[in-house]
Amino acid sequence: MKPFVSCHSLRFAYALAAGGAAIVVLGCVGCDKTKQTSPRPAETNAPAPKAEARPLPTPPTPTNAPPKTKLPVRTPTELFQEGLGFWDGKGVTKDAAEAVRLFTLAAEQGNVDAQAYLAGAYRIGAGVPKNSEETVRWFRAAAERGDARSQGVLASIYGTGEGVPKDLTEAAKWYRLAAEQGLVRAQANLGAYYFLGQGVAKDPVEAYKWLHLAAQKGDQEAAKNRGLVAQKLSVAQMAEGRKRAAEFVPARAK
């Protein structure tokens, strides 16, 4: 994953409040015209009638109210790129904690790059305390989405037992997925696994294939191991290993 930072525009939307007044309609009380009665003389001691209480009209909403500004909606990619700026200190003051906060927002929405960076932050304790469970959780999330580097790191974690129980079968599984996408270091390690029979059945021809592929890409350790494997192979087996390497086509990431 190549770090990059891109500027992005912020879009704002406005909503105006509408105003209006409620109209109160009062009815006539006691207007029965079916009976005509003579007025009775007024009683001097009778209390004065109380005025009927009327509901207060609803005050109008001011039409000149300031518009409400909505917060800009950022995509997971934009969140990751902003976090990357804080992570690298490009254009802003370096702030690993803020970077992790933004990576988390993006990672939770499925951004693979953010998941890988967040896993790395938990692995080294940058911006957050070291946490093996979170490291594996987020590397696995990115690896399952097809990120070859995360697959390779996850394989290494299981292969060495870094914060998790050592599991060579799980390590070989993730090395294979990364190697099939063309990740050179994963190819070199997978070749060694096949030669030693770690996590997979021992297969020197398959070991030669993967070591040959990595050596062709300039991996010096793979080239040395390829020489050691070649000493154990017949001419026909070596030819088969080279044939498999020549037919190899890298898998496409998901």
**87-124, pLDDT tens digit by residue?**
999 999 999 999 999 999 999 999 999 999 999 999 99
| pLDDT attached to residue 72 | 73
| pLDDT attached to residue 73 | 83
What average pLDDT is seen over the chain? 82
Kindly state the average pLDDT of the residues 172-192. 98
Task: Report whether pLDDT(196) > 50.
Answer: yes
% the chain with pLDDT above 70: 71
Contact (Cβ atoms closer than 8 angstroms) between residue 156 and residue 171: yes
Residue 21 pLDDT level (bands cut at 50, 70, 90): very low
Q: With a threshold of 0.85, does the pTM exceed it?
A: no
Contact (Cβ atoms closer than 8 angstroms) between residue 185 and residue 171: no
Which residue ranges form the domains of the chain, and what is each CATH number?
Answer: 74-145 (1.25.40.10), 155-254 (1.25.40.10)
